[in-house]
Structure 1
Amino acid sequence: MKISATLSCNIIAIVLGCLALIVLPNALDLYSLINASVYISLALFALSMALIWGHGGLLCFGQSMFFGLGAYGYAVAGINLTDSTWAIPIGVLAPMLFAIILGYFIFYGRLSDIYFGVITLTATLILFKLANSSSGDAWHIGEAQLGGFNGMPNIPPLNMPFSPADPLSPQAAFIFAVVVLVLGYVLSKWLIGSRFGRVIAAVRENEVRAELLGYDSRLVKLITFAIGAGIAGMAGVLFATSVFVSPTVFSLSNSAQVLIWVVVGGIGTLAGPMIACVLLQILSAWLGTTGVIDPNIVLGGVLTLFVLLIPQGLLPWLIKHLPETLRPGKVKTAVTHE
């Protein structure tokens, strides 16, 4: 029996996730484990862009606004509610609601892809400026001080459900992050393989023809945009609980990096951008410790090399050079028919 590409990829993701859960919490020291949690959150951020751009055809230049809204949404809710049980869904729903409002005016206004990119970039710049200007006691939401360029203090960690007095250890927080990443990948893979996923692909390939077949392309793009915003918001939640929350979550560098991860990993794949994200983050961290060269220069060089030499991206290139029997969707198992 031939295993479908979606099922085989999901199995691989679950196996790798289980290995990470078993090995890394026991093998890494505290500092490395926290860094690994940060990489997991950024990989989820890369997944959000891989979904809306690679499969939805929505090139968003401001994906970091949803990442930042998720981080700030969690921080504000966590400080006021003192319980991450409710703060997590708020951190996911806040960017989704913002995406629905923004996307409604873009998609139902029939704005072109160029204006879509410009508007999302502009919205990110506005949020970055607003967050930077929110220092002082007057800038607060309930008990949560926004902190301006210094960031938000006293962000509560993740805790056991409905038990604020039982915060998760760094090991447990890492396990939670890995589980969320694997679930995000599996659900995204399921989505693009579903009937709605095929409609997304149809709208991406030929919007006019999809509408002639009776589909509302505006609604399809709006839903896709909102789902990507929710995934990015969850990534922001994980980032906030691993490091800190400051206006840098809205920065242009975040928006640029996620585009680089998708291009290097492979546009049209889900796992490729996630792998590229982790590898490039490790490379950037190592270059930062050496002080020999600016990591941004290296990232620009990597992007240029991939665009010129491996335009299909890292993962498709690797799969192309794998033996035929090891490629996703080509795995075969023997079955007995009674």
Structure 2
Amino acid sequence: MKWGWFILWALIMLLLPLIMEDTYTICVLSIWALLALSLGLMWGFAGILSFGHAAYFGLGAYAYAISAINLGESTGALFLAVLVPALVAAVIGAMMFYGRISDVYLGVITLVVSLILYKFMNATAGDVYRIGDARLGGFNGIPGFPLLNVPGDPSAEIWGTPFYYVVAVALLLCYLVARWVLYSSFGRILTGIRENDLRAELLGYNVPLYKTAIFSLSAAMAGLAGAFFAMWSEIVTPGLFALGQSAEVIIWVIVGGLGTLVGPMAGAAILGMIKLLLGEQTTIDNTLVMGAILVLAVLLIPGGIAPQISAWRKRRMQRFLSSRSQQSGRRRRGRQSSRDSQ
């Protein structure tokens, strides 16, 4: 994405609350876009597919809720919501990548981690399951925790349109971080690892370290999205770790465009909006619709939405330049003929 497009995107996000009065919807779409960006960064540019990416989304949400209850405010809780998933991912990633786990088993392990967390959090009903003042609540989850507040003033809650702007700024900053990472030497090495990790290792790069680092960074972004989702929904439940949540993120990335940063966010926004619209009725199952969209997207736009739009723009530009070149050539020939006739 060129800087002009980025500025346009930022302006659109800035003006959205003026166009759409329902900031509740655009806020959750931005949160889902951040979650999709986190997986798209890791999968699209490092070749690491996590089938249990919802684990870090849920960890961020639970870390925020538990910390906010114990701390009584959101600033430290938000920091822990990013730190906890990043540390967990660093430990799991180090074991997988330094253990030379193959891609198939890597996917299985990430899926199992998510399922374990889902089962465990469902089994935490009762007063014995608590961390400080926060009861885990089992299937019912944790409600009633402090929401986002102005740093240093727990009584000044940030909600509605101001909360949307906080989420939007966080999304834009995470995009810039991802872009900076990819255009740095670290990102170029990641691309090389994705293409051929054995060759990268023979060139002297510490492949497991690079994979662990991007795995942890992706988890940190997912944790931030989870914290914002907890504030948005005002409750966290084990459903955040569910397999369906992880599957949805994968679908968002595929439909939006794997190997791009904008694509996963666009896929999350479009499919998320469809999900919200379908949620208002009970005739059609959401999972069935999402599955059908995935099949159609793979068949009709195999590269995803963003790459198809980019290719269409390039074709239009090539035709435009070709047309201009032909017109210029005809004018030159016309002037030459005129001089010859004189």
Structure with greater Cα Rg: 2
Matched, 1:204 2:194: yes
Structure 1 window deviating more from structure 2 (11-20 vs 111-120): it is: 11-20
Instruction: Give the SS at the match of 1:164.
Output: strand
Whether contact under 8 Å (1:145, 1:153) holds in the other structure is no
Partner of 1:15: 8
Compute the displacement of 1:181 (Å): 0.4
Equivalent position to 1:28, from 16, 20, 33: 20
Give the gaps of 5 or more residues in structure 2. 322-342
Compute the displacement of 1:297 (Å): 1.1
Partner of 1:130: 120
Question: Compared with structure 1, are the counterparts of its residues 11 and 182 closer, same or farther at alpha carbon in structure 2 (3 Å cutoff)?
Answer: farther
Q: Matched residues in 2 for 1:187 and 1:325: separation?
A: 31
Question: Compared with structure 1, are the counterparts of its residues 143 and 82 closer, same or farther at alpha carbon in structure 2 (3 Å cutoff)?
Answer: same
Partner of 1:142: 132
Q: Matched residues in 1 for 2:6 and 2:154: separation?
A: 31
Partner of 2:279: 288
Equivalent position to 2:166, from 159, 164, 176: 176
Q: Which amino acid letter does the alignment assign opposite residue 318 of structure 1?
A: I
Q: Which amino acid letter does the alignment assign opposite residue 10 of structure 2?
A: G
Compute the displacement of 1:319 (Å): 1.4
Q: Which amino acid letter does the alignment assign opposite residue 289 of structure 1?
A: E
Matched, 1:313 2:304: yes
Q: Which amino acid letter does the alignment assign opposite residue 300 of structure 1?
A: G
Q: What RMSD in Å do the two structures reach over aligned CA positions? A: 1.6
**Superposition TM-score, scaled by structure 1 size:** 0.91
CA offset digits 1:278-303 (Å, max 9, x no partner): 11111122122243321211111110
Partner of 1:111: 101
Q: Which amino acid letter does the alignment assign opposite residue 28 of structure 1?
A: M
Q: Matched residues in 1 for 2:293 and 2:280: separation?
A: 19
What pairs up with 1:9-88 in 2 under 5 angstroms? 10-21=3-14, 23-29=15-21, 32-88=22-78
Question: Compared with structure 1, are the counterparts of its residues 14 and 146 closer, same or farther at alpha carbon in structure 2 (3 Å cutoff)?
Answer: farther
Instruction: Give the SS at the match of 1:322.
Output: helix
Equivalent position to 1:279, from 257, 261, 270: 270
Matched, 1:255 2:246: yes
Whether contact under 8 Å (1:14, 1:182) holds in the other structure is no
Compute the displacement of 1:325 (Å): 7.5
Partner of 1:335: none
Question: Compared with structure 1, are the counterparts of its residues 127 and 326 closer, same or farther at alpha carbon in structure 2 (3 Å cutoff)?
Answer: farther
Number of corresponding residues = 318
Q: Matched residues in 2 for 1:14 and 1:308: separation?
A: 33
CA offset digits 1:200-224 (Å, max 9, x no partner): 0011111111011110101010001
Q: Matched residues in 2 for 1:138 and 1:262: separation?
A: 39
Q: Matched residues in 1 for 2:17 and 2:40: separation?
A: 28
Partner of 1:334: none
Matched, 1:299 2:271: no
Compute the displacement of 1:326 (Å): 6.7
Whether contact under 8 Å (1:65, 1:127) holds in the other structure is yes
Q: Which amino acid letter does the alignment assign opposite residue 61 of structure 1?
A: F
Structure 1 window deviating more from structure 2 (243-252 vs 292-301): it is: 292-301
Instruction: Give the SS at the match of 2:156.
Output: strand
Whether contact under 8 Å (1:78, 1:84) holds in the other structure is yes
Q: Matched residues in 1 for 2:174 and 2:17: separation?
A: 21
Q: Matched residues in 2 for 1:96 and 1:163: separation?
A: 27
Compute the displacement of 1:230 (Å): 0.4
Q: Matched residues in 2 for 1:290 and 1:133: separation?
A: 31
Q: Matched residues in 1 for 2:55 and 2:317: separation?
A: 38
Give 4+ residue runs of structure 1 displaced > 3 Å after superposition.
26-29, 323-327
Partner of 1:336: none
CA offset digits 1:162-201 (Å, max 9, x no partner): 2112111311110000000011111101111111000000
**Superposition TM-score, scaled by structure 2 size:** 0.90
Partner of 2:330: none
Q: Matched residues in 2 for 1:146 and 1:14: separation?
A: 42
Q: Matched residues in 1 for 2:44 and 2:243: separation?
A: 20
Compute the displacement of 1:83 (Å): 1.4
Give the gaps of 5 or more residues in structure 1. 331-338
Instruction: Give the SS at the match of 1:61.
Output: coil
Q: Matched residues in 2 for 1:293 and 1:119: separation?
A: 32
Instruction: Give the SS at the match of 2:259.
Output: coil
Instruction: Give the SS at the match of 1:95.
Output: helix
Whether contact under 8 Å (1:265, 1:274) holds in the other structure is yes
Whether contact under 8 Å (1:177, 1:238) holds in the other structure is yes
Question: Compared with structure 1, are the counterparts of its residues 293 and 96 closer, same or farther at alpha carbon in structure 2 (3 Å cutoff)?
Answer: same
Equivalent position to 2:85, from 73, 95, 99: 95
Compute the displacement of 1:155 (Å): 1.7
